[in-house]
Amino acid sequence: MAYLELYVAICKVRCAGDARHWLLIVAYPGEEHGTWYHVTGGPTHDKDYKLEIQTKRVDNHKIESYYKVGNLQEVDVKKLKASAQSITPKFCQRWIVDVLKDLERKSLVSSGTSDAWYQKMEVDPYSHDGASS
């Protein structure tokens, strides 16, 4: 059965002092394109937070690093999408942690994955969703 790889991707710093943008990417191994799950908007854009699900290049010049968090069977991609859609859009890093927690509950990523990523969160200067300083 075919599987896809699930990554947390971290974008390059836009402006000094800003928190970096995080997103989830799921793609077949070696494929050029995958599905991006991420939250856009927020106070820095003077817009409400919004979930974006897009097909884009996996290797993108805006992304600084990729961290594989697991493999998903093709049949489980719908569960990933359901998790992404069920979590209220918010500060991207906190949203990622919340989605990973839901994926843990569904046994799609290893237990403790969300806690590990919570520890890596940067402070969101616009809300209380960020990790404490």
Q: Over the stretch 75-124, which tens digit does the pLDDT of each residue have?
A: 999 999 999 999 999 999 999 999 999 999 999 999 999 999 999 999 87
Q: Is residue 123 part of a domain?
A: no
Looking at per-residue confidence, does 42 or 58 come out higher? 58
18 token code pair: 């800003």
What whole-number distance in Å separates Cα of residue 116 and Cα of residue 106?
A: 17
The pLDDT assigned to 133 comes to 36
In a domain, 125, yes or no: no
Q: Is 98 helix (H, G, I), strand (E, B) or coil?
A: helix
- CA dist., res. 77 & res. 131, Å (int): 28
Q: For residue 41, what are the domain limits?
A: 3-118
50-67 pLDDT tens trace: 999 999 999 999 999 999
84 is a domain residue: yes
What count of Cα atoms within 13 Å lies in the side-chain half-sphere of residue 124? 19
Residue 131 maps to a domain? no
Q: Of 77 and 130, which is predicted with more confidence?
A: 77
CB under 8 Å, gap of 24 or more: what pairs does 129-132 form? 129/90, 129/91, 129/93, 129/94, 130/19, 130/91, 130/93, 130/94, 131/93
Q: How many structural domains are present in the chain?
A: 1
Both tokens assigned to 97:
């942690």
